[in-house]
Amino acid sequence: MTSTNPFPVVIVTGLSGSGKSTAIRVFEDLGFFCIDGLPSEMSPKLADLILSFDTKYRGLALGMDLRQFEFVDGWGKALEGFAELGITPQVLFLEAKMAELVRRYATTRRPHPLESRNLGLEQALEMEKKLLEPVRQEAVLVLDTTDYSIHDLRRVIQTKWSSLEEVGMGMRVHIITFGFKYGVPSEADLVFDLRFLPNPYFDKSLRPMSGLDKEVSDYVLGNPTGTGFIKRFHEFLLYLLPLYAEEGRYRITLALGCTGGRHRSVSVAESVLATLKEKGYTVSIEHRHMELG
């Protein structure tokens, strides 16, 4: 398989302390089925099993390293097993400079898999580097994470594997509507105050309804203020969200508020929901205070 295949198989490996666990979490956020610590010889069988199902996952990411002692010895057999299935796994190999790996181990205080009474940390790292050289040679991407932040690593992986022709698939958008009189959601990344829009609460026929009703939505968005705002708001979000995605964000929460969280915020949120879905975003919605307003 190549990176253009709709269901890629990625093997995440590399030097201990170089960021493999973080990379696995990135693939998980991208919608991959992920397993860490799998023996190498078992990996083709697992891939075959996953591919035999009508899965909703976007790919398979397998974390392997020297914690599984037979990893290097079984690597050749694993590649043969994949070849028999017609699968060419994509190997992501992570590494970092010796001084940085030593610093990270000092921070976490975890032992290296090869470390022993007769083998210090630096010697263990040097031995690991030599043992993994055949695996490194198979990599489609080798990343030196010495100067990488978590966000840098996320951005590189997203760029290569998130199939960004599906805009936003690497980033989930959650929309919350709320009433300011009940409190602003603490988990919001962006908060928008919609109390400048016409308020259906003051129309007795509309007051019992919510922004889910067409009559209310038309009242809020069908006037010059609402029409002008919603057009610009859609354009603003469609400009802004890809910028967050490029910076490695995998989730963003938009909080849209009005006085009671029942009419204006819900009307706007439902309009935004429809637009983002149409543009291919993975989006969810929560009307937090609608029944309280």
Lowest mean pLDDT among 113-127, 156-170, 275-289: 156-170
> Phi-psi region for residue 279, left (φ > 0), alpha (ψ -120 to 50) or beta?
alpha
Q: Same domain, yes or no, for 187 and 143?
A: no
Element (H, E) at 61: strand 59-63
Count CA atoms within 13 Å of residue 209 on its CB side: 19
* Residue 15 annotated in ligand binding: yes
- Reduced 3-state DSSP string for 83-136: HHCCCCCEEEEEECCHHHHHHHHHHHCCCCCCCECCECHHHHHHHHHHHCHHHH
Please indicate, yes or no, if residue 227 is contained in any of the structural domains: yes
54 and 127 housed in the same domain: yes
- Residue 166 located in a structural domain: no
Last residue of a domain, one of 133, 161, 189: 161
Together in a domain, 139 and 83: yes
Residue ranges making up the domain that contains 84: 9-161
Please indicate, yes or no, if residue 3 is contained in any of the structural domains: no
pLDDT at residue 164 greater than cutoff 50: no
Indicate whether 134 and 204 sit together in one domain. no
Q: Is 67 annotated as a binding residue?
A: yes
20 known member of a binding site: yes
Separation of alpha carbons 91 and 142, rounded Å? 8
- Are residues 176 and 157 part of one domain? no
Looking at residue 211, what is its pLDDT? 93
Query: Where residue 281 falls among pLDDT bands split at 50, 70, 90?
Result: confident
Determine whether the annotation assigns residue 158 to a binding site.
no
| Residue 129 marked in a binding site | no
The answer to the question of whether 203 is labelled as a binding residue is: no
Q: Tell me if 32 sits within 8 A of 119, measured CB to CB.
A: no
| pLDDT tens digits, 16-74 | 888 888 899 888 888 888 988 888 888 888 888 887 776 678 888 998 887 766 777 77
In this predicted structure, what is the pLDDT of residue 170? 55
Q: In what order do the strands lie in the sheet with 282-287?
A: 190-193, 251-258, 172-179, 282-287
Q: What is the mean pLDDT of residues 182-191?
A: 90
Question: Which range (124-138, 186-200, 267-281) has the least confidence?
Answer: 124-138
Q: What is the mean pLDDT of residues 168-175?
A: 71
Say whether pLDDT at 261 is over 70: yes
Quick one: tokens of 38?
């799998």
Q: State yes or no: 65 annotated in a binding site.
A: yes
Q: Are residues 24 and 111 in the same domain?
A: yes
- 26 and 139 share a domain? yes
pLDDT at residue 4 above 50? no
Is 183 annotated for ligand binding?
no
- Whether residue 49 is contained in a domain is answered as yes
Domain count, the chain: 2
Q: Is 280 annotated as a binding residue?
A: no
Q: Does residue 261 have a known ligand-binding role?
A: no
pLDDT for 247 equals 77
> Does 207 map to a domain?
yes
80-131 pLDDT per residue, tens: 888 888 888 889 999 988 888 888 877 766 777 776 666 677 788 888 888 8
Tell me whether residue 204 is annotated as binding: no
Does 1 fall in a domain?
A: no
Is 228 annotated in some ligand binding site? no
Res. 293: pLDDT tops 90: no
Indicate if 204 and 78 belong to the same structural domain.
no
Q: What is the pLDDT of residues 187-244, one digit of tens each?
A: 889 999 999 999 999 999 999 999 999 999 999 999 999 999 999 999 999 999 988 8
Among 161, 181, 213, where does a domain finish?
Answer: 161
Give me the mean pLDDT over the 175-188 stretch.
Answer: 91
- Claim to verify: residue 15 and residue 155 sit in the same structural domain: yes
> For position 76, which CATH number holds?
3.40.50.300
Residue 275 domain-assigned (yes or no): yes
Residues 281 and 193 in one domain: yes
Residues 185 and 151 in one domain: no
Q: What integer pLDDT is reported at residue 232 of this predicted model?
A: 97
pLDDT given for residue 230 in this prediction? 97
pLDDT at 267: 97
Is the pLDDT at 251 greater than 70, yes or no?
Answer: yes
Residue 258 has pLDDT above 60, yes or no: yes
**215 and 129 in one domain?**
no
Domain-terminating residue out of 161, 189, 208:
161
Report whether pLDDT(167) > 50: no
Asked if residue 169 has pLDDT above 60, the reply is no
116 located within any domain: yes
